[in-house]
Chain A
């Protein structure tokens, strides 16, 4: 590349780089700087305290609770959402009557606005008036129903179920697209060799979709870790912090209590986790591209 071409390349890349710098890196660097200062609404003049806020937050038992909740929430939603999405994709990949309508309908939870979906689930989980308890009581499985979102033992699981319902169409569509690319000759060859459906799934279909599965897991992990509206509408992080995760804690500290410095510390931890996930995503994507035949 000549020097002129190099300059031209930089010139063409400059608008994109500028946008990325202004809208992505500036806020990230700003958050990190803010986390080193004690800043709140009532003390708007930033006071440098270095890593003291990090030490304080790390020593706070609430931080451990939030890390644990975030882990349970993210793993729970990602695993179940991908399993449900894959199962639905396998069904929708069959040549069944009404396949087109089913493929459209399965997208419904995904296209619903997050807050609407959360309100819907909040109604369904209502201990007195909710659909879920009505069904349980009418089937004789419960005497008076369960307070799904009000008990620390059931709140997180309930939120996970709602989030899986909202998110599984995304995984389903990705897997459905990937299933179309599986080499049908290999599937037929395996069938002729006597492999049953389960064997074909594990030995032919899944290996053929390996890269898509990994990328889908990483993407849904990023989305789920950052998922705010479902938990906020369902429980606001309660009861007794049983569903508090990073995004809800950041919102609560920043906008509920005006403690911007501490909110920034939680933000930095969030960025670190997400940066790790994004790096993984790119590594996997690059490997997948290298494996593809030219």
Chain B
């Protein structure tokens, strides 16, 4: 009798355990880390909060260094091992959507009352491709802010506010450059990398140009785009040597050691500068007199994978991570949620209002599934321009290559 009771109890216990185990969902969330902000730790803490609110969901957070992230994600998707949720660079959204790797979120967003109003306009646009919503904006930043070395500006008798215009920037760059002293006025760079493209785009956007027109055709030969390219070319004499193999990191080194008066970086540069002894400030981009500087949007969206068996739980997690009271604690750029961004910027960044204005004015990069190829062509364009090729000819070559992609 006792044995029968014991067996029955054991069977019941194992059944209960297996039922509990079946109900518990494990979500795999991948993100990348671009700064040394301790992002992974912040996210783990937020995840504990999410798990407390959702006892049946466990979240496994994988934080991957930025340089490896694209390759790791791509390999996982190709190998059928994609996570349930991940951050996606704004420029990958088109490709991941076209590949059928991620799911559209229009219905979920509508049902949950999640709408564009809560996010920066450019960030929301970056998650939309082919008439559908493929992600929820997670974090944002703008390429670029122009960080200035106040001491060098003061020594040269230049008011940093004067560089808001194209004309003012060029005049200042000329005055600040003294090659014999190893001093340069402007941190232009043109290596093979996305930072080259976003800085060039911000000058094109600010001059009224576009990369692709509304029909998806190359618009780089417009007078506005060519004008911006010619302008960038005219700045080359005031930049440190070696533009074509220099990146934003190299310019940061020169800026930090006092050799460079102005560097282009997103707002995420501020924590680095705050740790330095430099007297610095920033200007929100440059535009011709009478025009508004328009930066290039950067940032990441949260996407849910088609292969995920836990889409409902994944959506709960996406909503949680983009909530006003959570978003600011789980990003190392700027929260994409506007209200969270305001709080975050006021607490962590100098010139919060100026950053907000630049974020509101910024434009996303072309929303194309072949963006990475467009970007590669734009890098060649930048190198041609910085290398001395006639900007119109360089733009024509770039447009021929971009239009041949379709």
Q: CB-CB contacts of B184-218 with A at 8 A, as 1s and 0s?
A: 00000011110000000000000000000000000
Stretch at the interface among B45-53, B291-299, B370-378: B370-378
Given A128-B240, A147-B242: A41 and B376 within 8 A (CB)? no
Which B residues from 325 to 378 make CB contacts under 8 A with A? Answer: 369-370, 372-373, 376
A73, chain B: closest CB distance, angstroms? 17
- Does A258 interact with chain B (Cβ within 8 Å)? yes
Residues in B with CB closer than 8 Å to A240 are 244, 380, 383-384, 387
Asked if A258 and B95 sit within 8 Å, CB to CB, the answer is yes
B3 at the interface (CB under 8 A from A): no
Report whether B99 and A41 are in contact in the complex, using a CB–CB cutoff of 8 Å. yes
A256-B372 CB under 8 A given contacts A42-B99, A144-B179, A240-B380: yes
Q: Which B residues from 56 to 106 make CB contacts under 8 A with A?
A: 70-71, 74, 77-78, 95, 98-100
Q: Are the C-beta atoms of A235 and B240 separated by less than 8 Å?
A: no
- The total of chain A residues at the interface (CB under 8 A) is 32
B253 within 8 A of A: yes
Q: How far is the CA of A67 from the CA of B336 in the complex (A)?
A: 45
Cβ-defined contact, A42 with B370, below 8 A? yes
Partner of A236, one of B71, B192, B243, B254: B192
Question: How many residue pairs bridge A and B at CB < 8 Å?
Answer: 90
Interface pair B99/A44, CB less than 8 Å apart: yes
B114 interface hit (Cβ, 8 Å): no
A127 engages B71 (CB within 8 Å) = no
Q: Of B242, B376, B383, which contacts A257 at CB under 8 A?
A: B376
> Which chain B residues border A127 with CB–CB below 8 Å?
240-242, 246
Q: B241 near A147 (CB under 8 angstroms)?
A: yes
B192 and A237 contact, CB distance less than 8 A: yes
Q: Specify which of A129, A145, A147, A238 is in contact with B192 (CB 8 Å cutoff).
A: A238
Given contacts A42-B98, A238-B192, A240-B383, contact A255 B74 (CB under 8 A): yes
Which chain A residues border B192 with CB–CB below 8 Å? 235-238
Nearest-Cβ distance from residue B68 to partner chain A, whole angstroms: 10
Question: What count of chain B residues pass the 8 Å CB interface test?
Answer: 37
Chain B residues numbered 363-406 whose CB sits less than 8 Å from any CB in chain A: 369-370, 372-373, 376, 379-380, 383-384, 387
User: Which of B241, B257, B370 is most buried by chain A, counting CB atoms within 10 A of its CB?
Assistant: B241
Q: Does B221 contact A (CB under 8 A)?
A: no
A145 touches B95 (CB 8 A): no
Asked if A149 is at the interface (CB within 8 A of a chain B CB), the reply is: yes
* C-alpha spacing A239/B74, complex, angstroms: 27
In the complex, chain A residues 226-263 whose Cβ is within 8 Å of any chain B Cβ:
234-241, 252, 255-259
Interface readout for A120-160 with B: 1 if CB under 8 Å, 0 if not? 00000011110000000000000011111111100100000
Q: List 28 A-B contacts (CB under 8 A).
A: A41-B78, A44-B78, A127-B240, A127-B246, A128-B254, A145-B241, A146-B241, A147-B242, A149-B245, A150-B241, A150-B242, A150-B244, A150-B245, A150-B246, A155-B245, A234-B245, A235-B192, A236-B193, A238-B244, A239-B245, A239-B383, A240-B380, A255-B71, A255-B74, A256-B372, A258-B74, A258-B372, A259-B373
Q: A-side interface residues toward B, CB under 8 Å? A: 41-44, 126-129, 144-152, 155, 234-241, 252, 255-259
